[in-house]
Structure 1
Amino acid sequence: MSGLPSNIGVVVGLQPKLSTMSNDRINNALDRVRNMLKCERVFGLGEIGLDHSVPDKQWPRQNDLVRAIFHMINDRHVVVVHYRGASGDSGVEAYLLLLHLLSPILRTQRFHVHCFTGDTYVLTKWLAAFLNTFFSFNRNVQGFSLDISEALRSLDENKLLLEPDAPFFRATDQWFSAPNQLFQIAEGVVKCRNVPVEHALEVSCNNALRLYRMQ
């Protein structure tokens, strides 16, 4: 990390799909995350959360992993939240389950819910529980349902973030996604919010700097 440019921040965590590792490997990984969080270059803990795209027999271990990780959270770090629902599921129940698992955390904790695909009800519940929650959107905004589009439309712009989730969610003419494709993501977002693309990009940049305290 010491070799990275000064304007790059680092986030470390344990993705929920890794909950299938042996207990020894998970404990070793948690120790490494705990040690890395002490570094000044680390601005956040994540991604952590739930991924229900895997067989349901793996879900309880993901819950246990969230419980093990949230003890590392402190107000110096942003918590980057990952959620992915089962195929064909709206995801509301699991979003709220994750919210419940994180409920012991202070209400003022800063959260970054990445690749958000919840509806207005989920959005409202998260903001009621954690005031400093920001929501980011990626290329999959182009396929949003009416309910998710309404959530994006209703979100206060001071909580809006754009992300490529590189290297995933690539365009059909690209090998992978990358930050230099954020303009295309912004184009999808502004269709819901009726603002200029440049405005969405500027808002996202300012919000990210403020959220991660990199200004």
Structure 2
Amino acid sequence: MPRTTGLRERKKQQMRHQLADVAARLFAEHGYDAVSVSDVARAAGVSDQTVFNYFPTKPELVLDRAEEIREFYRETVRDRPDDVTPADALRPLVHGDIDRYARADLAIARGEFPAQCLGSSVLRRFALEARDQQADAIADAIGETHPGLHPLVVRAHAAALVAVIQVVTDRIGVALLDDAERAEVVAGLRADADAALDDASDHFRALTTGNS
């Protein structure tokens, strides 16, 4: 039974990835707003219902990992060592986003979250809601590790960290759509992200001096 269940789960994951890649290629070619769920189903050779079984709403074809990412941010900040700031805890994740851009398949990447959120006001709204939830998750984690800090100060710091992530994501999207020189973009993104995260880290240490 476990072996059968494992095979079933692998097949489900394969189908999920296949549908997401098909959708990304269509979004890259036509734009998110111009592609329907039925278009994705036809291109993938499946029924509309099959797509909805894996992605209950159209935005989830682009934002399906929003909850997973939010919880990853929460755990990363909550479980960091005592001498590590939230900014420094999140830094490897920001670098990871930049590294994925550096090696991305452009035919798919242009149809994914960073690029498509720039061209669709509908998708942008969903994305901003997801960012707000990420800030809440990070704030909750900071509150757990530093209960002495004022909740509004904690929320403001979390929002600043999410703003850095958002700017990096948007710049990746612009670079993808403009077919920019990737090595140059990567170097600039790393430098700018590190400058912002260094500042946030210094600010957090100042906030927590005497409040740990």
TM-score with structure 1 setting the length: 0.29
Greater RCO (CA < 8 Å, at least 6 residues apart): 2
Who wins on radius of gyration, i.e. which is larger?
Answer: 2
Indicate the structure with greater strand content.
1
Structure 2 length normalisation: TM-score? 0.29
